[in-house]
Amino acid sequence: MSLATEHLATPLSLTGIAYSQQNGRWRTEAMRSHATPRLIHITKGQGRITVAGLTRGYGPNNLIFIPAHVMYGFEVGPTVVGQILTIPAAMAPEWPDTPVHMRLRDVTQQQEASTLFEGLEREIKSSRNAHSRAAHYHLGILSVFFERQLEDQPADPNAQRAETSAARLVAAYSDLIERDYRSQKGVADFAAELGVTPTHLTRCCKQSCGKSALALLRNRVHYEACVMLRDTRIPVRDIASALGFRSAAYFTRSFQAHAGLTPSTFRKHGACAARQG
């Protein structure tokens, strides 16, 4: 596996969301992005999700669309149940090019969404002939459902908040993080590129998502480090170098401050969890 965490040909998949004390909060809460879009379907519980630097609440019967390369992370509490749909790159053009947070208020809409996800999951798990093609057809129908619901959605109460100058600045900062988090750039470098002071950038980040500019940057780097430690056998020193750390020792201290474990210990625990799963 290369230093990129995803292959270009990402397959269609559906992963369950549920609270777990064993799996680690980094799997959902740490800022990350993907090479292909994601659709999050929350069926039970509530929490907060941060997309492109803007935090808002979510609840039951919410559909949250995340385009490719858009940074996000979300809380998963004890009552939360849902699914994350991975959309293949070939079908991405059928979906929006900006994030969408949709609340299905009508019971008929909720039932239709559940039925579509159940059919999709059934075909993904099936071993019958042409099940993969059937799953992709189900995904196509789901994209039509999403498009139609988007047309009928009432005005988003968060739309004005998303259009503030602070939210736009943090969204731009999130894009820069996603582009350059592997470099040795710090908050001051990103702020200069955006034409603002580090203090102003941090103030806007806290206003938009409750985190500092530095926390967002470190959070994104930490997620990538976790994935590389879990999914590859790349030496820790090479991971440190790939993520822009000056030394393996500095990377280890930074990682341990986030995870409470050294990179090597985290890797061992991750391997055990993968075998148990």
Q: Which residue has the tokens 């039925």?
A: 115
- Among 234, 254, 256, smallest CA distance to 246 is for 254
pLDDT at 156: 65
In one-letter notation, the amino acid at residue 228 is M
pLDDT at 20: 67
Give SS3 for 277: coil
Do 72 and 49 touch, CB atoms closer than 8 A?
yes
> Around Cβ 16, how many Cβ atoms within 10 Å?
9
pLDDT at 26: 83
Give SS3 for 42: strand
Strand order in the sheet with 100-103: 13-18, 81-86, 38-44, 62-66, 100-103
Q: Round to whole Å and give the CA distance between 192 and 82.
A: 40
Direct distance between the N- and C-terminal alpha carbons of the chain, in angstroms, rounded to an integer? 21
CA-to-CA separations, 104 to 60, 88, 179, 260, in angstroms, rounded: 9, 24, 33, 39
Q: Round to whole Å and give the CA distance between 102 and 146.
A: 9
Q: Which domains does the chain have, with CATH numbers?
A: 13-157 (2.60.120.280), 164-276 (1.10.10.60)
Report pTM.
0.88
pLDDT at 160: 64
Low-confidence spans in the chain with pLDDT less than 50: 1-8, 271-277
- Helix (H) / strand (E) containing 152: helix 131-152
pLDDT at 275: 37
Strand order in the sheet with 54-58: 54-58, 47-51, 72-74
pLDDT at 273: 45
